[in-house]
């Protein structure tokens, strides 16, 4: 009798395992998305970053005029502030986007160092190309940010 119970228990375990493995539907995992808090934190800094981005022509004009004092003021003021804002935004991005955002921020920093050196050497060609690279870094970062419903959609 004990032998029949153990065989019967074994068969029930096999049957239960089979039914559980076949019976439950697969759970769909939602794609990662932003929380309201993350969006709010990101949107807090975006206008300040965008304002600096929109001033790229102003920096270009200063470099072309050879106004190195104001170029350095621009580098150490608004652009450095924008770089700082990028570092504040990065932890609020999706986990998959954070490494790329950190790399872009490092690239921006490196370009700002090169721009500062070109300014110190009064070299307009290197200063212009480096400033363009710095603003491209800002553009790349802005492309990583989530689009909000208040922004116009590109057609």
pTM listed for this prediction: 0.73
For position 33, what pLDDT does the model report?
A: 85
List per-block mean pLDDT (blocks of 10 residues) for the chain, which spans 155 residues.
71 67 61 84 93 94 94 94 94 94 96 95 95 96 81 44
> What's residue 4's pLDDT?
72
Question: Which numeric CATH code is attached to 36-144?
Answer: 1.20.120.290
Provide the mean pLDDT of the chain: 86
CA–CA dist 143, 13 (Å, integer): 54
In the DSSP assignment, the letter for residue 96 is T
Residue 20's pLDDT is 63
Distance CA 87, CA 106 (A): 10
Per-domain residue ranges of the chain: 36-144
d(Cα 103, Cα 110) in Å, to the nearest integer?
Answer: 11
123: alpha, beta or left, given left = phi > 0 and alpha = psi -120 to 50? beta
């Amino acid at each position: 009798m004990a032998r029949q119970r153990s065989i019967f228990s074994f068969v029930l375990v096999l049957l239960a395992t089979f039914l559980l493995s076949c019976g439950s539907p697969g759970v769909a995992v939602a794609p990662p998305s932003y929380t309201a808090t993350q969006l709010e934190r990101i949107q807090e800094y975006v206008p300040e970053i965008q304002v600096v981005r929109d001033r790229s022509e102003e920096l270009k004009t200063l470099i072309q005029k050879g106004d190195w004092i104001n170029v350095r003021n621009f580098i150490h003021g608004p652009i450095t502030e924008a770089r700082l804002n990028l570092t504040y935004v990065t932890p609020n991005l999706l986990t998959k986007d954070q490494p790329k955002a950190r790399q872009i921020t490092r690239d921006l920093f490196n370009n700002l160092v090169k721009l500062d050196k070109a300014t110190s050497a009064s070299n307009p060609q290197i200063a212009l190309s480096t400033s363009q690279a710095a603003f491209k870094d800002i553009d790349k970062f802005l492309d990583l940010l989530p689009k909000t419903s208040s922004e116009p959609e590109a057609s």
